[in-house]
């Protein structure tokens, strides 16, 4: 599966689980970690875990290897590594504290609505 398809799958999946304030950062040329970061949050521990579980399940169904998932038990910031796409699912209270959008401020943003319509 190509990275754009992974990105679309990730964005649609987190949106289906009602993740809030979805942001996509294009990390190409900015970081060697991944090509894209998807950042979103949920309003409770259960919702954060539900978003992460759904993404892991959908990725597996599509044959995408989930390289690792960290932070699941605490449910404050779960990182789901899909290789060239990394999804950060925050608890609402934690997202503002870490503020990845500002930390990676030199990364351009992708249009979320465009991917949701794909």
- Amino acid 12: pLDDT: 97
End-to-end CA distance of the chain: 15
Q: Closest Cα to residue 90, out of 104, 108, 70? A: 70
The yes/no answer on whether domain 3-117 falls in CATH 3.30.460.10 is yes
d(CA 10, CA 37): 10
Q: What is the DSSP string of 94-118?
A: HHHHH-HHHHTTTSEEE-HHHHHH-
Confidence of residue 1 (pLDDT cuts 50, 70, 90): low
* 37 in Cβ contact with 104 (< 8 Å): yes
* 101 in Cβ contact with 25 (< 8 Å): yes
- Amino acid 79: pLDDT: 97
The answer, yes or no, to whether residue 106 has pLDDT greater than 80, is yes
The domain spans of the chain are 3-117
Average pLDDT over residues 74-89: 96
């Amino acid at each position: 599966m190509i990275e754009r398809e992974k990105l679309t799958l990730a964005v649609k999946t987190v949106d289906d689980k009602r993740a809030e304030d979805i942001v996509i950062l294009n990390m190409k040329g900015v970081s060697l970690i991944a090509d894209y970061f998807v950042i979103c949050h949920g309003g409770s521990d259960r919702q954060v875990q539900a978003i992460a579980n759904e993404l892991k399940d959908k990725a597996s169904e599509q044959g995408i290897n989930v390289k690792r998932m960290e932070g699941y038990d605490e449910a404050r910031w779960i990182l789901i590594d899909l290789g060239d796409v990394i999804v950060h699912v925050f608890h609402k209270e934690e997202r503002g504290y870490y503020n990845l959008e500002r930390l990676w401020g030199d990364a351009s943003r992708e249009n979320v609505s465009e991917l949701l319509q794909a």
